[in-house]
Amino acid sequence: MIKKEGAYYPANEFRKAAQFNDESVYNTAQKDPVKFWEKLARQLFWRKTWTKAFVHRPPYFQWFVGGKLNITENCLERNLPRNKDKVALIWEPELLDEKPRHLTYGELFWEVGRCANALKSLGVKKGDRVGIYLPMIPEVMISMLACARIGAIHSVVFSAFSPQALKVRLQDTRAKVLITADGYYRRGQVISLKAAADEALADTQIKKVVVVKRVGQEVAWRKGRDFWWPDLLAKAKAQCSPVAMDSEDPLFILYTSGSTGKPKGCVHTNGGYAVQSLWTGKWIFDFGDKDVFWCTADVGWVTGHTYGIYSPLLNGATSLMFEGAPDFPEPDRWCQIIEKHRVTIFYTAPTAIRMFARYEHFVKKHDLTSLRLLGSVGEPIDEAAWYWYFKNVGHEKCPIVDTWWQTETGGILITSLPGLGPFKPGFTGRPFPGVKTDILDDQGKPCPIDKKGNLVIRSPFSPGLLRNIYKNPKKYLETYWTRYGQKIYFTSDGALRDKHGLIRIIGRVDDVIKVAGHRISTGELENAVNKHPLVSECAVVGIPDKIKGEVPVIFAVSAEAPAKADLPALKQTIIDQIKKEIGPIALPKELYLVEDLPKTRSGKIMRRILKRLFTDEDLGDLSTLSNPEIVEKIKKIIVR
């Protein structure tokens, strides 16, 4: 690596060999982004070419209008002539004594065909929604592709989400079929997934459930509704011709947290998403013939969708999927996996990096020399974590791509490209070629250099940006296309730009907090807590955390003042309520039972003041509160 003015640039050999190393592309793309994306789109296999590349009717827009393709034909058939025997998926189970599975492109093609026919036999048709509640096992990749093959819209729900969270999503999509598993392994435990799914199904439209056999445990069974995956697939033919999808037909719905209590179903389409997945992967992760790419994100999140599944497959690359937790049974499990499978490109989150850094001695035991490129995603990566990653994992030889994007954007939109750089700690980089970003002040004027403002994306946005919130166009308009009008996409992130045009992401400007890179809305958490019969009101705020970046803390007011001795029990039932509504990822760092919350005279809860109790920041003017005395009382509870 070459060092210059506090930033790093790729070594000459790296640059020369990279998939992307032509600075001039940025300029050409900027001049005519639509033409640029069109040129990239031609690399895919289209059943029918589009008639118009970009159509904008604010707040809606479309890409490759009139074009027809099937994304799985691009992931599978397009790769078969050259890569039939190349490994598409390496699967590493959690159990150390279990063997990894390798699926070649040829085998994957066969499995996807069988699964697609099996879904057809259950009555799934183009446009139907299929729920997928699966852990990190090969069947999740097969299921997603099988849906896409026949034009069904997959909606993957993170396997650690609670039955209630699954139910809400299934109700929203009105899926008729759910694919799940009997269970899976996590930190040495068997997690009973089928039981959780069963609990979710009442009051949904689910008519058929397909169950993968992962752990071989006894499960409750409803005849006529439940089908074992192996039985169903054994009866299915492998030959399944791909349905030609309209470029703008939905490919998947993925739920994410917004400012309010209800999760939003982001709708992603076939054509634009495929184009963006293919090219962001090729240029940002520099996929070459011999690479083994490991994206550690769970497939329940968008990172798992795009960079665990679609992007590597569209590029004919080898993707590694790991069932378990990166630090189980020992904190060096992730190093073992890199060493064992000779991983060359490693993509993870700052939270994980900060956790790995705690166990530096473990890292030193392993041979990580197969690595040639590193990536980070999900939250800002602080300089300390950046340098640790750079030195101890990349041995100062691997570029680090800090990639900014969102569930909504479908693929990476801001990063440095590995063949060009610069890689500068604290900065994610430049907008991807063909993407026009801006940083605006409150009035909508572009911010000068180094000044914080709101990050926005200008037309023509990007082919992979969401097209709607499922069945909620009002929310779509309000969330993304109101802050700066219907022609500018509002990201809800604060950012600034340095004199070289590199972007630093400050963090969310809405009520979303990033806990270990996961997106949790304080509103959603508050809703869950408020459902507890003994809670009259509550406030959730995010506070800084050394490992997770941010963590939620809850202030709850109980309807009846409970006796001191009953407090621990009450707290526990509130925690259980959160587990039930959302799942273990949303658990707070602390839960404080307080007698009141700081409020303005009009009754608005002042979360800002609660948040400041945990930082060095001045509390500000308390005289506008109707109950300023409560702040002192809460302070005492926190200190205790």
Residues at the site binding ligand WT7, with contacts judged by CB under 6 A: 256, 302-303, 377-380, 402-407, 428, 491-493, 505, 507-508, 514, 519
Q: For the CB of residue 556, give the shortest distance to ligand WT7 in the complex, in Å.
A: 26
Task: Pick the closer one to ligand WT7 by CB: 117 or 491.
Answer: 491
Cα distance between residue 174 and residue 365, in whole Å: 50
* Contact residues for 495 (Cβ-Cβ < 8 A; gap 6+): 439, 452, 453, 454, 455, 503, 504, 505, 506
Q: Is 186 in contact with 324 (CB distance < 8 Å)?
A: yes
Q: Is 532 in contact with 585 (CB distance < 8 Å)?
A: no
Q: For the CB of residue 404, give the shortest distance to ligand WT7 in the complex, in Å.
A: 4
Q: Per residue in 200-212, is it b (16+ CB within 10 Å) or e — as a string?
A: bbeebebebbbbb
Identify the bridge partners of residue 56 per DSSP, sorted by sequence position. Answer: 61
> Count of residues for the chain?
640
Q: Is 490 in contact with 483 (CB distance < 8 Å)?
A: yes
Quote the tokens at residue 450: 């180094």
CA nearest to 584, candidates 83, 159, 8: 159
Task: Pick the closer one to ligand WT7 by CB: 306 or 315.
Answer: 306
Q: For the CB of residue 619, give the shortest distance to ligand WT7 in the complex, in Å.
A: 26
Q: For the CB of residue 267, give the shortest distance to ligand WT7 in the complex, in Å.
A: 14
- Residue 4: exposed, middle, or buried by beta-carbon count in 10 A (0-12, 13-18, 19+)? exposed
Which 3 state secondary structure label does DSSP give 266? strand
Q: For the CB of residue 422, give the shortest distance to ligand WT7 in the complex, in Å.
A: 15
Question: Peptide bond preceding 242: is omega within 30 degrees of 0, i.e. cis?
Answer: no
Q: Is 205 in contact with 174 (CB distance < 8 Å)?
A: yes
Q: Which residue has the tokens 């999900």?
A: 378
- Residue 509: exposed, middle, or buried by beta-carbon count in 10 A (0-12, 13-18, 19+)? middle
Q: Is 210 in contact with 177 (CB distance < 8 Å)?
A: yes
Q: Is 412 in contact with 280 (CB distance < 8 Å)?
A: yes
Task: Pick the closer one to ligand WT7 by CB: 285 or 555.
Answer: 285
Q: For the CB of residue 44, give the shortest distance to ligand WT7 in the complex, in Å.
A: 22
Cα distance between residue 103 and residue 109, in whole Å: 9
Task: Pick the closer one to ligand WT7 by CB: 508 or 548.
Answer: 508
Task: Pick the closer one to ligand WT7 by CB: 50 or 279.
Answer: 279
Maximum CA extent, the chain: 73
Task: Pick the closer one to ligand WT7 by CB: 128 or 379.
Answer: 379
Task: Pick the closer one to ligand WT7 by CB: 10 or 378.
Answer: 378
Quote the tokens at residue 621: 């003017």
Q: For the CB of residue 594, give the shortest distance to ligand WT7 in the complex, in Å.
A: 29
In this structure, which amino acid lies at residue 491? T
Sign of CA dihedral 165, 168, 172, 177: positive
Task: Pick the closer one to ligand WT7 by CB: 243 or 266.
Answer: 266
CA-to-CA dists, residue 628 to 401, 535, 599, 634, angstroms: 46, 22, 8, 11
Task: Pick the closer one to ligand WT7 by CB: 72 or 407.
Answer: 407
Q: For the CB of residue 378, give the shortest distance to ligand WT7 in the complex, in Å.
A: 4
Task: Pick the closer one to ligand WT7 by CB: 170 or 377.
Answer: 377
Which 3 state secondary structure label does DSSP give 401? strand
Q: For the CB of residue 241, give the shortest distance to ligand WT7 in the complex, in Å.
A: 33
Task: Pick the closer one to ligand WT7 by CB: 197 or 398.
Answer: 398
Q: For the CB of residue 196, give the shortest distance to ligand WT7 in the complex, in Å.
A: 22
Task: Pick the closer one to ligand WT7 by CB: 122 or 587.
Answer: 587
Q: For the CB of residue 301, give the shortest distance to ligand WT7 in the complex, in Å.
A: 6
Q: Is 398 in contact with 18 (CB distance < 8 Å)?
A: no
Task: Pick the closer one to ligand WT7 by CB: 156 or 211.
Answer: 156
Identify the bridge partners of residue 640 per DSSP, sorted by sequence position. Answer: none
Q: For the CB of residue 512, give the shortest distance to ligand WT7 in the complex, in Å.
A: 7
Q: For the CB of residue 505, give the shortest distance to ligand WT7 in the complex, in Å.
A: 4
* Contact residues for 223 (Cβ-Cβ < 8 A; gap 6+): none
Task: Pick the closer one to ligand WT7 by CB: 112 or 585.
Answer: 585
Backbone phi and psi for residue 326, each to the nearest 5 degrees, phi listed first: -65, -15
Cα distance between residue 521 and residue 590, in whole Å: 16
CA dihedral 428, 429, 431, 437 (to 10 degrees): 70
Task: Pick the closer one to ligand WT7 by CB: 172 or 408.
Answer: 408
Q: For the CB of residue 268, give the shortest distance to ligand WT7 in the complex, in Å.
A: 12
Sign of CA dihedral 302, 462, 417, 357: negative
Q: For the CB of residue 464, give the shortest distance to ligand WT7 in the complex, in Å.
A: 11
